[in-house]
Amino acid sequence: MNDIELSGISHRYPNGVQALADVSLRIAPGEFVSLLGPSGCGKSTLLRLLAGLETPSDGRVPAPGEGGVGFVFQSPTLLPWSTVRDNVALPLRLAGRARGLSSPQRRARADALLQRVGLAGFEDAWPEELSGGMQMRASLARALVTDPTLLLLDEPFAALDELTRQKMGDDLLTLWREQGCTVLFVTHNVFEAVYLSQRVVVMSARPGRVHAEVAIDAPVLRDHAFRRSPAYLEQCVAVSGTLEAAMSGPAAVTT
Amino acid sequence: MQLKWPVAALLSLCALAAQAADKIVFATNWRAQAAHGGFYQALADGTYAAHGLDVSIRQGGPQVNNRPLLPAGKIDFLMTGNLLHSFDNVKNGVPVVAVAAIFQKDPQALIAHPGQGYEDFEALKAAPVVLIAKDAQYTWWAWLKSRHGFRDGQLRPYNFNLGQFLGNPRAVQQGYAVAEPIYVRRQGGFEPVVHLLADHGFSTYSTLIETRADTVRDRPDLVQRFVDASILGWVHYLAGDRRAANALMLADNPEMTEEELEASVALMKRLGIVDSGAAATLGIGSMDAARIRDFHAQMVQAGLYRAGEVDLDKVATLRFVNRGVGLGAAPGTKQPGGQSPAP
Amino acid sequence: MKPERWVPALSITLALLAWEALVHWARIPHYTLPAPSRVLATVWTDFGSLWPAWWFTLRLTLGALVLATLGGVLLAAAFALSRVLELALLPFAVVLQVTPLVAIAPLILIYVDSTTAALLLCTWLVAFFPMLANTLAGLRAADRQLHELFTLYGATPWQRLKWLLLPSAVPYLLSGLRICGGLSLIAGVTAEMVAGAAGRETGLASRILEASFRTDTPRMFAALLLLVLTGLALYALLEWAPRRLARRRPAPGSAAGSRPAWFSTSKPVKDTSCN
C-alpha cells in the first residue's frame, strides 16, 4: 500500500464559497489521522473529496486503494425500512462491490461484523429500535463490511453523550487495530482528536487550509490510564493552543 | 252562432280583469321552441292577463329537469312530454295530475339518413347506432325494445348534439318530428327520414299540462283559467298572428330563428299534432279516459309497468277540458258545443 | 372501549334517528326526502336491480384504481430516472389534470366504442395524476446522505431506484393511494352521469339518473347509500391495508414492535384537487 498523497487540492462550491485552498497532505498506510478545525474549515469537504463524492476544482485526489473506501456519516444514515443486518450488508449488494457474494455469504459477513461492534443479537432489529450509540455502531459495521483500505469518519460521535463517546472511541481503536486500515477522522473536539489519533491535522477556515500538523506522542495502546495521564492533558493543551491560533490568525506551520 | 262566443268571452274577460291577477309560474320541458308556441302566445297577446293570470314561463333545457319543482311547490304548472311521466308519478305516490293534453299526437320520432334503407321502420332496429337521451332511455326506449325489438347494444348516449348523427350515415337518433328535421336540413343539408312513434303504437298524449293535486282541489278556478287561456293561446298561435309570441321565444332562446319557428308550425299543422282527432270536436287539450287506459295497457304489455301498479284515476282529470274552448275562433272549424269559461 | 370506536358510531346513529324523526314529525313526503327506514327498505326490495349496477361501479372503481396506481407509479419512476423525460411529459400530465372531466367525458364516449372502456379511461385520467405527483414527491424525498451512501458504493440507477427511492416513496405512495381511491369512485360516477351509459354496462350513477327521471326519490337515495358505503369501504381498506403491511416482528430486547416511525401514513399530502 502506498501513502495517500494530496497535493494542492482546492475546491470551490458552485455558490462561490472557497471551501479549500491549496491543501496538501500525506497519510501513511495504516495511520490514524484526525482532521481538527472550526466549522467552515473544509474538513468535511476534504473527507468527501477523498471518498469520491465530489471532484476537486483544482488538484487530483488519488484513487482509494484496492479495498476501497468506507464512510461513516455524521448521523447513522441507516435505511429505516431494512433490518440492521440488511443495512450492514448493503454495500456488499451494490454494484461497485458486487464481488459475487451469495446471500448466505453476505449474511455471514454482516453478522460477523455486528458481533465485532458489539451488536450481536440485534441483527433482526429495526434501526429505530436502537439507541443513538447502537445505530452508530451499525453504521460503523457497514463501513467496515467491505474491508476498506481507507476508513473515513465525519464527526461520527458528535451527537452522543460523553460516556458513550469515549466507549465508542475505544471500540473504534480496537477495530482499527484489527482491520489495519488507514483512518481519517474529522472532529472539532480536541480531546477526542488527541486521544484517538497518531497525528492531528489542524485546519483553519475561510478559506480551508492546513494550519499545522501535530504528532501525538503516546503509547499505541490507548486506555483509561492514558486519559488521566499528564502527558495526555499537556498535549491537549498544546493542540488547543494550535487550534486557537488557527482560528485567530492565518499562518501555516508544519511540524 | 258565430258571434255568440266572442261576445260572451269579452264580458267574462272584463269581469275577470277586475280582480287582481294571480301570479303563477309555468315550467316547460325544453328551451323555447314552436312546440311551446301557444303558451307564449297567450302571454304575448294578453290572453293570460285577460284571464287574471300573471304568468312567467320558465324554460327547460338539456341539463335542466323542471319536474321535481312541481311537487316541491316551486312552480304551479308543468309541461310534460308524455303520459309515462304521469304514470311514474302516480306509481311513486307523487301527488300531481294532468289537466290538459295540448298535443293529440306525440311528435317524438326516430330520424335517419335517407338512402340507407331506413325508409322502412322495421329496418331501424338493425341500425348499429341509435342515439337516445337519458330521459328517453329510462322511459320510451324500454317500449321500443319490448315492442319493436330494439336492443341496448345499439344505444349510444345522445347529448343533443347533431354531430354524431350527421357524421355517421348509419346512425339513427331521436328527435321531435316538428323540430329536428329542420335542424338537420340546416346543418346537414339533407332531409332526414322521419318515423313518428305515434304511427307505430306510441299513442300517448304529449305536451300535457300538469299541476299539483291540491291545486286542483283547492283552486280549481285557477286551473280552469290557466287551461282555457292556454288553449286559446294555442288557437291564436296556430291560426293567427304569432309574431309577438315568436319574438318572446326568440328572446328566451337566442339560438332559435324565425324561419325555424315557422317551419315547425307548418310541420305541426301537417302532422296534425295539435288539433287532430278529438281536439277538432272537443277543443284543443282534449283528453279521453279510454285512450289513457289503452295506452297504459300497452305499456304494461311492453313490460314498463306491472298491472295495477298505476291507479289510472289519479293520472289525469278531465274536468277542465273537453269543453270546446277555442272552437270557432279558427276558420273552417266545427260549430261550438262549448261554453265560455265558467268559474 | 376506546372513544375512537364508539363515538363516531354513536354520532351517526343519532343523526339517522334525527333524520327519521324529522321526516315523520314534519310529514315530509317520501318523494322529497325519504326516511332512512324507507331508504333501507328500498335497498332491500330493489336489490335485484341495484346489485348488478353496484357490482359494475365497484369493478370500474377498482379497475381504475389499479390502473391509475400502476400508471402513476411507473411514470413517476421513469421521471425520477430521467429528468429529460419528466420535462417532456409533465406538461401533458398537468393538462390532463386541469381539464374538467365533465367537459371531456362526452367526447371520449364519442371516440371510444366500448362504454366500459370509455368510462375506465375517464376515471383513470382523473385518478392517475395524484398518484404520479405523490409518488414523484416520495421518490425525491429520500435522505441526501442515503443518496451519497449509494453513490459511494457505486450503485446503478436501477439499484438506487429499487432500494432507496421506492422504499422512501412508500409513505407518499400510500397517501396518494388514499386520494386515488376516493377519486376513482367520484370520477367513475361523474363520468357515467355526464356521458351516459346503457344496458348491462351501467353502474349506480345510471340508477340514480333513472330514478330521478322516474321521480322515484327513495330509489335515488338507495343507490346513493350504496355509493356512500362503497366510498367508505374503499377508504377503510386503504387506511387499514398499509397498517397491516407495516406490522413487523419486534427485535429482541427492544420496545414493543410498534410501527416504524418513518412509515407514517399521515405524510404531508399533495392534495391535487379533483375535478
A near B: at least 3 beta-carbon pairs less than 8 Å apart: no
- C216 vs B18, more confident: C216
Asked if omega into A219 is within 30° of 0 (cis), the reply is no
Residues of A within 8 A of C156 (CB-CB) are 95
pLDDT tens track for B60-97: 988 788 888 999 999 999 999 999 999 999 999 999 99
Domain holding C91: CATH number? 1.10.3720.10
Which pLDDT score, from 0 to 100, does residue C269 have?
39
Q: pTM of the entire structure?
A: 0.76
C-alpha cell of residue B1: 252562432
- CATH of segment(s) A1-68+150-255: 3.40.50.300
Residues linked to residue A58 through DSSP beta bridges, in sequence order: A10
Residue C270 has pLDDT above 60, yes or no: no
* Domain B4-104+204-314 matches domain B108-200 at the CATH topology level: yes
Q: Does residue B116 belong to the interface with chain C, where contact is any CB pair within 8 Å?
A: no
Nearest to A53 among C151, C156, C164 (CB): C151
Q: Provide the CA C2 distance to its chain's centre, in angstroms.
A: 28
In whole numbers, what is the pLDDT of chain B averaged over residues?
Answer: 89
Q: Domain span at residue C181?
A: 41-245
- Is residue A204 within 8 Å of A211, Cβ to Cβ? yes
Share of chain C above pLDDT 90, in %: 47
Share of chain C above pLDDT 70, in %: 87
Residue C251 has pLDDT above 70, yes or no: no
Nearest chain A residue to C166 by CA distance is A81
Residues linked to residue A184 through DSSP beta bridges, in sequence order: A33, A152
Strand A18-27 with A4-12, pairing: antiparallel
> Length of chain B in residues, anyone?
343
Which pLDDT score, from 0 to 100, does residue C198 have?
67
Which pLDDT band holds residue B164 (cuts at 50, 70, 90)? confident
Which pLDDT score, from 0 to 100, does residue B2 have?
58
Determine the Cα–Cα distance for residues A198 and B13; give it in Å rounded to an integer. 121
Determine the Cα–Cα distance for residues C46 and C38; give it in Å rounded to an integer. 12
pLDDT tens track for B110-128: 999 999 999 999 999 999 9
Residue C6 has pLDDT above 70, yes or no: yes
Q: Which of residues 116-135 of A touch C (CB under 8 A)?
A: 121-122, 124-126, 128-130
Q: How many CA atoms lie within 13 A of C171 on its CB side?
A: 17
Determine the Cα–Cα distance for residues C204 and C222; give it in Å rounded to an integer. 10
Q: Is residue C68 part of a domain?
A: yes
pLDDT tens track for B215-268: 999 999 999 999 999 999 999 999 999 999 999 999 999 999 999 999 999 999
- Is residue A165 within 8 Å of A134, Cβ to Cβ? no
Topology classification of domain B108-200:
D-Maltodextrin-Binding Protein; domain 2 (3.40.190)
Q: Does the interface predicted TM-score (ipTM) exceed 0.90?
A: no
Contact C254 A75 (CB under 8 A): no
Burial (CB count within 10 angstroms: exposed 0-12, middle 13-18, buried 19+), residue A210: buried
pLDDT tens track for C12-54: 999 999 999 999 999 999 988 999 999 999 999 999 989 999 9
Nearest to B164 among C32, C110, C200 (CB): C110
Which pLDDT score, from 0 to 100, does residue A94 have?
86
Residues A212, A215, A216: CA angle, nearest 5 degrees: 130
- Work out the minimum CA distance from C260 to partner chain A, whole angstroms: 7
Residue B331 has pLDDT above 60, yes or no: no
Contact B92 C31 (CB under 8 A): yes
Q: Which of residues 188-247 of C touch A (CB under 8 A)?
A: none
Nearest to B71 among C31, C106, C195 (CB): C31
C-alpha cell of residue C117: 372502456
In whole numbers, what is the pLDDT of chain C averaged over residues?
Answer: 84
Q: Is residue C18 part of a domain?
A: no
C-alpha cell of residue B10: 269579452
pLDDT tens track for C81-136: 889 999 999 898 888 888 888 888 878 877 887 778 888 999 998 898 899 999 99
| Number of domains forming the structure of chain C | 1
Which pLDDT score, from 0 to 100, does residue C102 have?
84
Which pLDDT score, from 0 to 100, does residue C240 have?
83
Choose the mutation target among B64, B92, B140 for the interface with C, i.e. most C CBs under 10 Å: B92
Which pLDDT score, from 0 to 100, does residue C266 have?
43
Q: How many CA atoms lie within 13 A of A171 on its CB side?
A: 22
> Mean pLDDT of residues grouped by 10 in chain A (255 residues)?
82 86 89 89 88 88 82 93 94 71 87 92 93 94 92 93 92 92 93 93 87 87 86 92 83 47
> Length of chain C in residues, anyone?
275
Which pLDDT score, from 0 to 100, does residue B8 have?
65
Residues of C within 8 A of B144 (CB-CB) are none
pLDDT tens track for C128-165: 889 999 999 999 888 899 999 999 988 888 899 899 99
Q: Is residue C7 part of a domain?
A: no
Annotated domain spans of chain B: 4-104+204-314, 108-200
Class of the CATH-defined domain B4-104+204-314:
alpha beta
Which pLDDT score, from 0 to 100, does residue B333 have?
41
The arithmetic mean of pLDDT across residues B141-146, rounded, is 93
Annotated domain spans of chain A: 1-68+150-255, 79-147
Q: Where are the beta strands (DSSP E) in chain C?
A: none
Nearest chain C residue to B65 by CA distance is C213
Chain B: partners with 3+ C-beta pairs within 8 Å:
C
Determine the Cα–Cα distance for residues A154 and A104; give it in Å rounded to an integer. 31
Residues B185, B187, B192: CA angle, nearest 5 degrees: 35
Q: Does residue C250 belong to the interface with chain A, where contact is any CB pair within 8 Å?
A: yes
Residue C254 has pLDDT above 50, yes or no: no
Which pLDDT score, from 0 to 100, does residue B334 have?
39
